[in-house]
Chain A
Amino acid sequence: MTDLTSLTIADARYKLRAKEFSAADLAEAFLATGEPGDALNAWCEKTPDLAREQAQAADARLAAGEAPSLCGIPLGIKDLFCTKGVRSQAGSNILKDFEPPYESTVTSNLWAEGAVMLGKLSMDEFAMGSSNETACYGPVVSPWRRRGDDAKLTPGGSSGGSAAALAAGQAMATTGTDTGGSIRQPAAFTGLVGLKPTWGRCSRWGIVAFASSLDQAGPFTRTVRDAAIMLQAMASVDEKDSTSADIPVPDYEAALTGDIKGKRIGIPKEYTVDGMSAEITKFWEQGADHLRAQGAEIVEISLPHTKYALPAYYILSPAECSSNLARYDGVRYGQRAELAQGDGITEMYEKTRAEGFGDEVKRRIMIGTYVLSAGYYDAYYTRAQKVRRLINRDFEQAFGEVDAILTPTTPSPAFGLGEKSDPLDMYLQDIFTVTVNMAGLPGISVPAGLSSDGLPLGLQLIGKAFDEASLLNTAHALETALGFNATPERWW
C-alpha cells in the first residue's frame, strides 16, 4: 500500500471512494504521526477519539455513496479556531485550558463536509509573529533543514504549526489564518501551497480575533487543487459574521482548467528590494517566463505606495489588537493571576494581563494603545488609514490593466530559530504579503523551487477581490509549469 500520509486530498478522495482504504485507515495512519512536544512540536493537542469518531461517520457516508470531497480527509486545525470542547488557546497562556462551548463557522463547515480533526496546531501567540517563536508551547521546528546542516529552522509564522505538520506528512491539509502573511510566508518556507482568500470570503466567527479588518482564514495544502477543495468547504456566507460577503461561493475546482491564454499578469517593480536573495529573483523571472509560455502576457506595473504598507500595518494592526485583546481580563475565560491580600479589580486586570501575555503581544497592545490615545490618534491612526486607502488605490489601478500580479512571497528562505531578536527585523518578513491584507485581496503562495542550500522558496499570485476562482486557475498553471515536488528529508 502507498504511504497514506503523502497523498493529496484529490488522490485520497478518489481512493476512499474506490474503497482502496477506509477513512478509519487514513485517520490511524495520521494519528501515528506528530505529538505535542515531539521534535517538530507542531501540535499543541491531538484529538484521537474525535478523529476516530469522525472517521467512522465518514466511512458510513462513503458506504452510502454520498461523500462530499472532504469526507474522511484528516486535517489539522490552527489553535486560533475555536473548536467545541477542545482546548483553543490561540498560542497564549492567558487562554490556558480554554474550552470553547461553540465551534467556529469555518471548522463547522469542514466537519459538515465530513473532514476529520486530528488535533490543534501551534502558532505564534494571538497570531503575532513570523517565526512561531512567540507560541506559549515553545517554538515549532521546520521539517526542512539546510543541506548538510542540522541547525533548527523556523517553519515561519504565525501559522507555523500548520505548515510544519503538513510538510512533515502529519496531516493531509491544515487550516491557517493570515493577517499580514501568516499563511503565505510559512507556506513558502515549507514548500506548500498557502491561500489567503479575500477578506469576507470565509466567516471570522469563532476565530480568535487579532486585527479584524485584516484577519482571514485559509488553507495550507500540497497542491493548488487541494486548496480549491479546501476553500470550497471553508467559505460561506454566515449570519454570525456580518462582514462575511454575500457573494455566492463558486465551484473552485471546476475553475482549474489550466488555460491562462490571454491573461495579463502584472510584475510590480516596487517588489524588488534591498537584501533580496538572488535566487528568489531568478525564480520570480522563471515564474513569469512559465506564465508567458502558456499564453499569458507579462506586464510591468507600479504599486507606488508599497513601501508604506508595512509601517501603516504596524499602526493599524496593533490598534485593532489593543481593542480586540481588551477582552482578556481574567473575568470571563482563561487565566486569572494569583492576587495578593487587598488587591482590587484593577490589580486583577493588570496582573492577569502581565502574566498571561507574552512580550510581543504586550508590545503590540502598547503600540496600539499609544497610537489610539488622545493627541496621537490623528497623527498615527487616521494617517495610517489614509495610507491604506492609497495602497488599495494602487491595486485598483493595477487591476484595471492586469488579471493577476506575480511577486515573490518572501525576500529569502527560512531563517534559524533565535536568529531574529529585533522585533523590527521580524516585521520585515511580511514585506511582500502585508500589502494584500491591507487591500483585502486574495493571495496565494505556490512553491517555486529550492535555494542553493536546499530550502523552499515561494512565489505569490495576487488576484482581484472575490475572484479566487481565476486566481486558483492561474496558480494551478504556474504550479504545473514549476513542477515542484521536493519534500524534506526525514530526520524527526
Chain B
Amino acid sequence: MSVDADTVRKVAKLARIAVQEHEVEPFARELSGILDWVEQLQEVDVTGVEPMTSAVPMRLKRREDKITDGNRRDDILANAPESREGFFAVPKVVE
C-alpha cells in the first residue's frame, strides 16, 4: 500500500481537512488504490517531452493595468459567514 495512515494524516493536515481516526484507514486504502493505478504512467517514455501547461496553444492576453471594477464592499461581504465593521471576521489569529 503506497499510502499509509501517517501519510493520510499528513496530507489531510496540508489540505486543512480534519480527518477522524476511523476515517484514516479507509482513506489510506482508497488513496493507495488510486495512486497504485496511476503508477502505470511510469511505463510511458517521456524523455525529451515538454510538460503541457495549457489545453490549447495560446499566449496569455495582456491588458492595460487599470481599475475596471470596485467599490463593492457590501457585495463582497454579503456571503461571509461572519463580518464585522466592513471586514471578514475570523477567530483570533495571534494570542
Contact = CB atoms under 8 A, between A and B. Distances in A.
Interface in A31-73: none
Given A369-B15, A424-B37, 5 more contacts: A308-B40, A326-B16, A331-B90, A345-B90, A345-B93
A413 to B, nearest CB: 24
B52 interface: yes
A200 B57 CA distance: 10
Contacts of A322: 15
Contacts of A184: none
B53 A366 contact: no
B31 A339 contact: no
B80 A199 contact: no
Interface string A231-254: 000000001001101100000000
Contact of A424 (B33, B49, B58, B72): B33
Interface stretch (A116-124, A164-172, A261-269, A378-386): A378-386
Contact of B16 (A242, A346, A382, A388): A346
Nearest to B17: A353
Contacts of B49: 386, 389-390
B56 interface: yes
A199 B18 contact: no
Contact of B55 (A348, A357, A440): A440
14 contacts: A101-B76, A246-B61, A308-B40, A311-B41, A314-B38, A326-B16, A329-B16, A349-B16, A366-B15, A382-B51, A386-B50, A424-B34, A437-B55, A440-B55
Nearest to A199: B55
Name which of B30, B78, B82 has the most chain A CB atoms within 10 A of its CB. B30
B8 to A, nearest CB: 7
Contacts of A438: 55
B91 A366 contact: no
A385 B52 contact: yes
A385 B53 contact: yes
| Top-6 shortest CB links A-B | A440-B55, A385-B51, A336-B81, A333-B79, A354-B18, A350-B18
A387 B44 contact: yes
Interface in B17-33: 17-19, 27, 30-31, 33
B81 A330 contact: yes
Candidate in B38, B46, B50 with the most chain A CB atoms within 10 angstroms: B38
Contacts of B31: 363, 366-367, 370
Contacts of A373: 11, 14
A212 to B, nearest CB: 9
Interface of B: 3, 7-8, 11-12, 14-19, 27, 30-31, 33-35, 37-38, 40-42, 44, 46, 49-56, 58, 60-61, 63, 68, 72, 75-76, 78-82, 88, 90-93
> In this complex, which of A343, A350, A437 has the most chain B Cβ atoms within 10 angstroms of its Cβ?
A350
A470 to B, nearest CB: 17
Contacts of B68: 239
Nearest to B49: A386
Nearest to A428: B37
B16 A386 contact: no
A203 interface: no
Contacts of A312: 38, 41
Contacts of A311: 37-38, 40-41
Given A345-B91, A350-B17, A367 B52 contact: no
B80 A333 contact: yes
A367 B34 contact: yes
A354 B17 contact: yes
B72 A387 contact: no
A332 B88 contact: yes
* Best-buried of B49, B50, B55, B72 by chain A (most CB within 10 Å): B55
B58 to A, nearest CB: 7
A465 interface: yes
Contacts of A308: 40-41, 44
A214 B55 contact: yes
B60 A242 contact: yes
A30 B89 CA distance: 43
Contacts of B79: 98-101, 332-334
Nearest to A311: B38
Contact of B12 (A366, A384, A390): A366
Contact of A380 (B18, B38, B63, B93): B38
A363 B17 CA distance: 11
A344 B91 contact: yes
Interface string A347-378: 11111011001000011011101100100000
**B19, B27, B56, B68: residue with the most chain A Cβ atoms closer than 10 Å:** B56
A214 to B, nearest CB: 7
Contacts of B75: 101-102
A438 B63 CA distance: 28
A101 B38 contact: no
A213 interface: yes
A458 B78 CA distance: 44
Nearest to B56: A440
Contacts of A239: 63, 68
A325 to B, nearest CB: 9
A423 interface: yes
Contact of A334 (B7, B54, B61, B81): B81
Contact of B15 (A245, A305, A365): A365
